[in-house]
Amino acid sequence: MTKILTRTGLAVLAALIGVYLILPILIVVPMSFSDSSFLSFPPEKLSLRWFRNLVDDPVWLESAWASLKVALASSVCSVVLGVLAALALVRGRIPFRNTIIAVLLAPLIVPYVIIGLAAYIAFLQLGLTQTTLGFVLVHTCLAVPYVVINVVAGLVAVDRRLEMAAMSLGAGPVTTFFQVTLPLILPSVLAGGLFAFFTSWDEVVTAIFLSGPEVTTLPVQMWSGIRVQIDPTVAAISTLVLLVVFGSFLILGLTRLIRRLARRRVTGPATNTGA
């Protein structure tokens, strides 16, 4: 009886948390299709007015293009650095391992305001404020932990005997990684890359310190649209971002499911034969 009550309580709590997280989405999406000049819910009349405004307004397009460039560059850099760091942590024997882990995961703990202020002070001396390179450097720092966590989890699950078998057949470390290890951890790498991309795409705190007339990312422009004037275009952008995020993770989930089903089909007959 106690277990049933506990499970029921946890289910109710999970449902309440889910409603709390989903409720803003259920409000923002209808607001983006409103014909009103102000944010209003529920919308009195449905329209694509603000989606057209997003396409027609060069300010929003430039901000979106700047965010896309920064997110792509920082996600690529994060994946490269994160995979190398994960390989060193899991496969290598390095000194001060715990210290290195703490440094790599520090951006998850340190407030973004501190990181943004520190980056602003440092980049001001180097002339990197209001530059794409400055954004990429900071966003890479913020995104690397997500790649490291995902890739480390993937590497731990890889059977070392597969790599040893490849090396025993004459494959070098680089060939073994690209031919054996990378295909096995590819879902983890893709997951880390997606987290890195959306971390950069959605980051506003550090971007406020680094943005300016030369470079303004989409989150900063959205923040200005809410703070200075209640622009319904922000709701339209939020809806598009939600679609992209859900679509990306849905594709990633389907890819993992297909890979698992393919593995079961391959290993199933062999298992039955062995039995």
- Amino acid (1-letter code) at residue 258: I
Residue 113 counted as domain residue: yes
- The answer to whether the CB of 52 falls within 8 A of the CB of 233 is no
Answer yes or no: are the C-beta atoms of 135 and 115 closer than 8 Å: no
Q: Is residue 256 part of a domain?
A: no
The distance of Cα 188 from the centroid of its chain, to the nearest Å, equals 12
Among 227, 245, 239, 216, residue whose Cα is nearest residue 61: 216
The whole model's pTM is what? 0.77
Q: Containing H/E element for 136?
A: helix 132-157
CATH of the domain at 155: 1.10.3720.10
In this structure, is residue 262 part of a structural domain? no
**Domain membership flag for residue 227:** yes
Query: What's 22-36 look like in SS3?
Result: HHHHHHHHHHHCECC
| Average pLDDT for the chain | 81
Q: Is residue 206 part of a domain?
A: yes
CB 142, CB 172: distance < 8 Å: no
Dist. CA 266–CA 255, nearest whole Å:
17
Structural domain total, the chain: 1
Give the pLDDT confidence score for residue 136 in this predicted structure: 92
Q: Is residue 199 part of a domain?
A: yes
* Residue numbers of the domain that contains 146: 77-231
Spatial CA neighbour of 72 closest among 199, 248, 189? 199
pLDDT at 235 over 70: yes
The 10s digit of each residue's pLDDT in 134-166 is: 999 999 999 999 999 999 988 888 878 887 888
Helices 132-157 and 97-105, axial angle in degrees (round to 10): 130
* Residue 274 falls inside a structural domain: no
Contact partners, residue 126, CB within 8 Å, separation at least 6: none
> Quick check: is 222 in a domain?
yes
pLDDT of residue 209 exceeding 80: yes
